[in-house]
Amino acid sequence: MINDALQDAEDHMKGAIKALDESLNSVRTGRANPALVEKMVVEYYGQLTPLYQMAQISVPEAMQLMIKPFDKGSIKAIEKAIQNSDLKLTPNSDGIVIRLSLPMLTTERRREMVKIVHQKVEDGKVSVRNIRRSAMDDLKEYEKEKLISEDERADGEDKIQKLTDKYIAQVEQTGKRKEDEVMGN
């Protein structure tokens, strides 16, 4: 019973770490990376579609992304999504491909990016804590239903807290790594 709750909590916490990694991939660093735009949502024939499902994204140069839509009719929709995003980039299209030239990051812009990283890290910590709260509630419910004793519940809560501490530390390490990457360290 307790082991099931622990395993379930750990699986969810691993998922939170994975979600944080994916979220941090969209934060711009000093070089071009397809992850910067691949999850961007484009309105395409009335449907919201991730860009990676609509186009091939490549890095022809260190500071440039090239987006080659599978359907040339989607170029305008992709350009509009890029312009409306918080990337502050202007797409250049020749009717076949879209090029995004990434300007060098200023120190001020790097600091803004670090603030975004901190916010995403905090969101990751909140996710892990919510998983802990849910697992603790499960243990209390098990005790209430007489499936486990009070001592077993207390022992399970200690284990869940240790698991939470471990994953909070991973969230912080992930955030620190991304912050160093953004600042060019």
**Tens of pLDDT along 63-86?**
889 999 999 889 999 999 998 887
Rounded CA-CA distance 112/153 in Å is 44
pLDDT of 14 over the 70 cut: yes
Domain ranges (residues) in the chain: 2-25+106-183, 35-101
Mean pLDDT for the stretch of residues 47-64: 90
Distance CA 100, CA 34 (A): 11
Concatenating the DSSP letter of every residue in 20-84 gives: HHHHHHTS--SS--THHHHT-EEEETTEEEEGGGTEEEEEEETTEEEEEESSGGGHHHHHHHHHH
Express each pLDDT in 166-177 by its tens digit.
999 999 999 999
Closest to 65 (Cα-Cα) out of 92, 30, 36, 100: 100
- Please, which pLDDT band fits residue 30 given cuts at 50, 70 and 90? low
Bridge partners of residue 93, in order along the sequence: 98
**Stretch 154-177: mean pLDDT, rounded?**
94
Domain 2-25+106-183 in this protein, CATH class = mainly alpha
The fold of 35-101 is: Gyrase A; domain 2 (3.30.1360)
- The reported pTM is 0.71
